[in-house]
Chains A and B, each alone.
Chain A
Amino acid sequence: MPSLKQLSSEKDLFTYGHRACAGCAASIILRQVALVAGKNTIFVGATGCMEVVSTIFPYTAWKVPFLHNAFENSAATGSGIETTYRSLKKRGKITKKINVIAFGGDGGTYDIGFQSLSGAMERRHDMLYLCYNNEAYMNTGIQRSSATPFGAHTTTSPAGTVIPGKQQFPKDLTEAIAAHDIPYVAQAAPHNWADFTKKVEKALTIEGPTFINVLSPCPLGWVYPPHLSIKMSKLAAETCFWPLYEVENGIHKINFKPREKKPLIEWTKLQGRFRHLLSESNKHIVEEAQKEVDRKWNRLLKMAEAKI
């Protein structure tokens, strides 16, 4: 794992001047990924916040090749690049090692890009897929996605007298991709940069498809002041809403176990999208959400213990 001192001597390949909101965690994530991946990397971005803010014509924040295709096919585009690279290598036209990193937001990964991602993983392309999960369609104005947590207010699951926010639990994409039996699947968060950069480094050295799902707190959509982005990420891990773990060759390993598991409300009460959950009448929603978090965490603990 590179230390901060080693990393700081590297040049930023995702540079300033991009137009992400102040305090955007997704730009921290991409910066950290680009630092670790190095200059022999090709990035592919699905339509979404990070594509829109980083490549507004005629400006680009990338100092490495970046390709945007469409919303649903960043994994397919990545697999095309990887296949071309393999072919060129076979014919001796290229000798150096090149990393292919495809990324997308939760909309472009959980929902719209799911089939192309599933296909790329099944075809065993040697690439890393990175999902920065901000838990809704933030770029288009905060619509619910299948990653939006239970009880969260979005413009298409508005909290009011009829419903108290989103009515469904989020899809567990990390496990869904792990079910593809690929060599490496991980879940990470930007506050733990050491764990995250280590996972990216590991994913890039492993041959075959790898997938990392990163939580990306969003000041705009989660409704909190921008300076709390890293705190939000930290609390999500400490409440076990977003456990940091990896699945290597089918074996679960938890990378961070909080000393004291905090109640979910510690995390939700700081966010405007859960504001309605603070009222007495919505107490059952909080309890239900807590129960689901506990269930998943206990399941994960058991899996890690049994080494499955």
Chain B
Amino acid sequence: MKKGWKELPIGTQIIKPGSSEDFKTGDWRIEKPIIDFDKCIHCLICWIYCPDSSIYVNDNKVTGINYDFCKGCAICAEECPKDAITMQSEVESE
């Protein structure tokens, strides 16, 4: 995005809400979380503790992980009461 000062909004306001959704942070990750849906009880604990809102929830059910934004902090894997989330090295998974 290249804009001169004349095209920028006054006071450097950011006009588009939630525009950070265009900035992918998934490449920060060194380990990726993987959900074992056989063990998952859909308690949504991972969802409430995720700092990057990267757990997909649909109709009160965990449906997956947004790997475009997950930074791989592993809080979900640590806090999962059923140990349904495991961390896998990004290098190995490639």
Residue in contact with B20 in the complex, picked from A28, A31, A61, A193, CB distance below 8 Å = A61
Nearest Cβ on chain B to A107's Cβ, whole angstroms? 20
Write the chain B residue with the least CB distance to A61: B20
- Contact residues in B for A19 (Cβ distance below 8 Å): 23, 25
Write the chain A residue with the least CB distance to B48: A193
* B-binding segment of A89-97, A224-232, A286-294, A295-303: A224-232
A23 within 8 A of B: yes
A160 within 8 A of B: no
Write the chain A residue with the least CB distance to B23: A17
Residue in contact with A15 in the complex, picked from B21, B48, B49, CB distance below 8 Å = B21
Bound-state Cα–Cα, A50 to B28, Å: 18
- Contact residues in A for B54 (Cβ distance below 8 Å): 16
Evaluate whether A60 and B20 lie within 8 angstroms (CB atoms) in the complex, with A16-B69, A27-B51, A193-B48 already known: yes
Flag B38-79 by CB within 8 Å of A: 1 or 0 each.
000001110111111110010010000010010111110111
Q: Are A15 and B18 in contact (CB under 8 A)?
A: yes
A176 within 8 A of B: no
Evaluate whether A20 and B69 lie within 8 angstroms (CB atoms) in the complex, with A60-B17, A63-B17 already known: no
Bound-state Cα–Cα, A231 to B74, Å: 12
- Contact residues in A for B14 (Cβ distance below 8 Å): 55, 57-60
A9 within 8 A of B: yes
Interface centre among B24, B47, B75 (most CB of A within 10 A): B75
Flag A13-48 by CB within 8 Å of B: 1 or 0 each.
011111111111101100110000000000000000
Q: Are B23 and A4 in contact (CB under 8 A)?
A: no
Residue in contact with A227 in the complex, picked from B29, B44, B45, B75, CB distance below 8 Å = B75
Write the chain B residue with the least CB distance to A234: B79
Write the chain B residue with the least CB distance to A190: B49
Nearest Cβ on chain B to A31's Cβ, whole angstroms? 6
- Contact residues in A for B50 (Cβ distance below 8 Å): 28, 31
- Contact residues in A for B52 (Cβ distance below 8 Å): 16, 18, 27
- Contact residues in B for A9 (Cβ distance below 8 Å): 60
Nearest Cβ on chain A to B18's Cβ, whole angstroms? 4
Evaluate whether A17 and B51 lie within 8 angstroms (CB atoms) in the complex, with A60-B14, A230-B79 already known: no
Q: Are B51 and A28 in contact (CB under 8 A)?
A: yes
Q: Are A16 and B21 in contact (CB under 8 A)?
A: yes
A239 within 8 A of B: no
Q: Are A25 and B51 in contact (CB under 8 A)?
A: yes
Q: Are A32 and B19 in contact (CB under 8 A)?
A: no
A7 within 8 A of B: yes
B22 within 8 A of A: yes
Evaluate whether A230 and B57 lie within 8 angstroms (CB atoms) in the complex, with A15-B18, A60-B17 already known: no
Q: Give chain B's interface residues, CB within 8 Å of chain A.
A: 1, 12, 14, 16-25, 28-29, 43-45, 47-54, 57, 60, 66, 69, 71-75, 77-79
Known pairs A22-B71, A61-B18, A63-B17; list 15 more (Cβ under 8 Å). Answer: A8-B57, A16-B20, A21-B71, A24-B51, A25-B51, A28-B49, A31-B50, A31-B51, A54-B20, A57-B14, A60-B16, A63-B18, A226-B75, A227-B73, A229-B75
Q: Give chain A's interface residues, CB within 8 Å of chain B.
A: 4-5, 7-9, 12, 14-25, 27-28, 31-32, 54-64, 190, 193, 219, 226-231
29 interchain pairs (CB within 8 A)?
Answer: A14-B53, A16-B21, A16-B25, A16-B53, A16-B69, A17-B18, A18-B20, A21-B71, A22-B28, A22-B51, A22-B71, A23-B75, A25-B51, A27-B51, A31-B51, A56-B20, A57-B12, A58-B19, A59-B14, A59-B20, A60-B14, A63-B18, A226-B75, A227-B74, A227-B77, A227-B78, A228-B78, A230-B49, A230-B79
